[in-house]
Chain A
């Protein structure tokens, strides 16, 4: 589904039937709501966003900068030979890793890394990103390939991308209709042009169903069992009941 299609769906609760006649401030508003929905989804189930990356660390190289748009680091972190690296939580543990965990009384000589520490700091010269640096200990004695699983920030779309050719929003399983659209419409409802007050209850029902699906759409082996489907239906029914109960 393209940004234009999502936009056209998002302006319906504002009682605007054609994208061409939507004023600029509405375009800006709805694009913002679409971006907000994508950011919300990126913090949900990790498989929507999980992505393997790999990079090389040279002999003696203490650290490497992770991609600028990294949002979360899931792990596991593995060396090219299949050896896992242990996550180190604090800077203090990282600095004294060899003494705490490997039994050294001094800093460990360079060799095969055992642990990694992700340092977070403000990226210099930029106000919207965090600099993530992966550090390794002991220092690698030879070059290694490192594999890590991360999530990236969702793409931020602009008003210009409403026009053709409009980009397709990357969503696994094409869950745009069942998850993304209900969330966008729910976000749009706070606009002063919102004209679908009689639809509010059903919009909230759809929104809650989308949330339930977001949490239960797990591509786990065996998930598509009767039991899993029943749980999904039960969650949707519960969300609908709550939505109607809260309708003014």
Chain B
């Protein structure tokens, strides 16, 4: 089912039934009903239906030149770091303490070195976890030269005891929150320890959020909805219809109770979605063929 098909089906319940003639405000109601239903469906959907493997590269350390306006400031004169280096650990000139890059021209801690300029060594130990990732759901795995190096263990409370100055092959990881309540993007860093001493590929499985349908996609440029066609009419459509009930453009209020019941049935059906598409593997109890 496409975005336009669903929008048209929803529009049939409004006072103006022709999607082309509907005002922009009423189309926004339709758009919000579609996105709300998609979010509801994928919040209830088993993880297998929203998990994917993500690959990032941990680069070898690099050295960049920097200059500061004056001592003890955390503002660098020129943008010297890249967007991808945000969150990474950096050692600047004669400041012995590890710092963290927070922007192309800013670091987290005040610079305590004496020299007003020099070289900074950037260790790529942070991977950006953007808001599309809901959850990292399996331990990240390192690859080097095409070979699997190791699975990373999650560090819990012993980070302070770790040697944070010596690079090497990463062994552990942790997810560092960045303050998404203030609109931070990325929302989290996946930080590894020790800091990588060379290039590594990092793979991890993550549950990802559903895509947002946009206004042009229900008007001029339809796309396929991110829902399998086998539940488009039985689950997505009833839930979207129920979400549209709040619109002031809904034509027949006497249908509200039926629409709500249909949505409840759709939610019940959603609970029957298979947890996995592979055969179940029960590792508890007597092994098969014992």
Contact = CB atoms under 8 A, between A and B. Distances in A.
Contacts of B214: 102-103
Contacts of B219: 83-84, 86, 114
B236 to A, nearest CB: 22
Contact of B20 (A75, A97, A102, A114): A75
B157 interface: no
Contacts of A88: 23-24
Nearest to A82: B220
A115 interface: yes
B124 interface: no
Interface string B3-44: 000000000000000101111110110000000000000000
B79 interface: no
Q: Interface centre among B22, B23, B220, by most A CB within 10 Å?
A: B220
B10 to A, nearest CB: 15
Q: Interface centre among A76, A87, A88, by most B CB within 10 Å?
A: A87
A115 B220 contact: no
B143 interface: no
B215 interface: yes
A101 interface: yes
B21 A115 contact: no
Given A84-B220, A112-B220, A76 B215 contact: no
Interface in A110-146: 112, 114-115
A152 to B, nearest CB: 20
A86 B18 contact: no
A76 B20 contact: yes
A75 B21 contact: yes
Interface string A65-95: 0000000000110000001101111000100
Nearest to B18: A76
Contacts of B18: 76
A102 B215 CA distance: 6
A223 interface: no
Given A76-B18, A100-B28, A87 B215 contact: no
Given A83-B220, A102-B215, A102-B216, A115 B24 contact: yes
A194 B25 CA distance: 52
A93 B215 CA distance: 14
Contacts of B24: 86-89, 93, 97, 100-101, 115
A83 B222 CA distance: 11
A104 B21 CA distance: 24
A195 B25 CA distance: 55
Interface in A36-89: 75-76, 83-84, 86-89
Contacts of A115: 24
A87 B23 contact: yes
B23 to A, nearest CB: 5
A196 B126 CA distance: 96
Contacts of B27: 86, 101
A114 B216 CA distance: 7
A112 B21 CA distance: 19
Contacts of A100: 24, 28
Contacts of A83: 219-220
A103 B214 CA distance: 8
Given A93-B24, A115-B24, 20 more contacts: A75-B20, A76-B21, A86-B22, A86-B23, A86-B27, A86-B219, A87-B22, A87-B23, A87-B24, A88-B23, A88-B24, A93-B25, A100-B24, A101-B27, A101-B28, A101-B215, A103-B215, A114-B216, A114-B219, A114-B220
Interface of B: 18, 20-25, 27-28, 214-216, 219-220
11 contacts: A75-B20, A83-B219, A84-B220, A86-B24, A87-B22, A88-B24, A89-B25, A102-B216, A112-B220, A114-B216, A115-B24
